[in-house]
Structure 1
Amino acid sequence: MTAEKTQVTSPHFTVLFVDDEPSILRSIKRIIHKTNINMLTATSGQEALELFATHDITMIVSDMKMPNMSGSELLEKVAQLYPETYRVILTGFADLDSIMQAVNHGGIHRYIQKPWDNQDLLLTIKDGLQFTKLKRENHTLQQKLFKQNRALKELAQSLDKKLNSKLNKSN
């Protein structure tokens, strides 16, 4: 289990990469190291779930074919336990049925074919983090709007009571 951070600029956005092949994780680290993305790595689904228990993970990029727990099973569990996490499947196998199962049961946002294009991988990560940022901002704005609407409702009720009180006094 490796918790590796690279040039932290946004501490609330962390991407977890899961692959049972250390060479794949090393390749991804070389690509991500050039960015300002916080990253964690895991070599199994169980290890990934343990990291979720101790870290605030924004996005997960998981290999499809892994022993003990497939990427599809992992992402399905992540969708159930951490539904706000942006989920990406990474695979060298073009098994459409498995990919469709992952999309349908794990709520996968994106699919990347191995070998990947570095720019496509980085763009996928950037898009996922931007999507998450916008969702969080939207949630914050909705909460603010709810509070403002509640305050307006209370003000309207207060004004209504005052008006009714004045009308009753004049009658």
Structure 2
Amino acid sequence: MRRGLREEGYHILSTDSGNRGLELLATNSVQVVVADQRMPEMAGIEFLRQVKELHPNTVRLVLSGFTELESMTEAVSAGAIYKTLHKPWDDDRLREHLREAFLFHEVLIQPRAAQRQFCVP
């Protein structure tokens, strides 16, 4: 992901677990969060639900390589997830989704958003 996005100018914060992702979010201003559905300690949807509660002004996306339609639909309906991205992802498509997420954040959530950065646990 870093390699595919290196020329986009994003400041990417990444960790190897959901709990460390929550720690990063507690100490950094992040507009967009991308989580893999399969990660250590907790599922991506659970992580994003916690992010929604703790950091409601973030735009949250989940990467999923398998179909869990019911839980994904429920998470989108509850507002925990802005968009679901499917693995393996295409770098051009990922860049497009991230641009949309940042635009959504800038226009509808925080019109005066600062630096563009996102978190990948």
What are the Cα deviations for residues 25-80 of structure 1, in whole angstroms up to 9, with x where unaligned?
A: xxx01011121111111111101000011100110000012232110110000111
Question: Which TM-score applies when normalising by structure 1?
Answer: 0.61
Work out the CA distance in 1 between the residues paired with 2:77 and 2:9. Answer: 31
Q: 1:76 matched to which residue of 2?
A: 49
Q: Does 1:50 align with 2:59?
A: no
What are the Cα deviations for residues 11-38 of structure 1, in whole angstroms up to 9, with x where unaligned?
A: xxxxxxxxxxxxxxxxx01011121111
Contact 1:44 1:66 in 2 (8 A): yes
Q: 2:33 matched to which residue of 1?
A: 60
Q: 1:116 matched to which residue of 2?
A: 89
In structure 2, stretches of 5+ residues that fail to align are: 113-121
C-alpha root-mean-square deviation of aligned residues, in Å? 1.5
Instruction: Show structure 1 runs of 4+ deviating over 6 A.
Output: none
Contact 2:35 2:63 in 1 (8 A): yes
Q: Does 1:137 align with 2:120?
A: no
For 1:133, give the aligned amino acid: E
In structure 1, stretches of 5+ residues that fail to align are: 1-27, 139-171
Question: Which TM-score applies when normalising by structure 2?
Answer: 0.85
For CA contacts below 8 A with separation 6 or more, give which structure has more relative contact order: 2
Which structure is larger by alpha-carbon Rg, 1 or 2? 1
What are the Cα deviations for residues 80-99 of structure 1, in whole angstroms up to 9, with x where unaligned?
A: 11111000010101121221
- For residue 8 of structure 2, give the secondary structure of its aligned residue in structure 1: coil
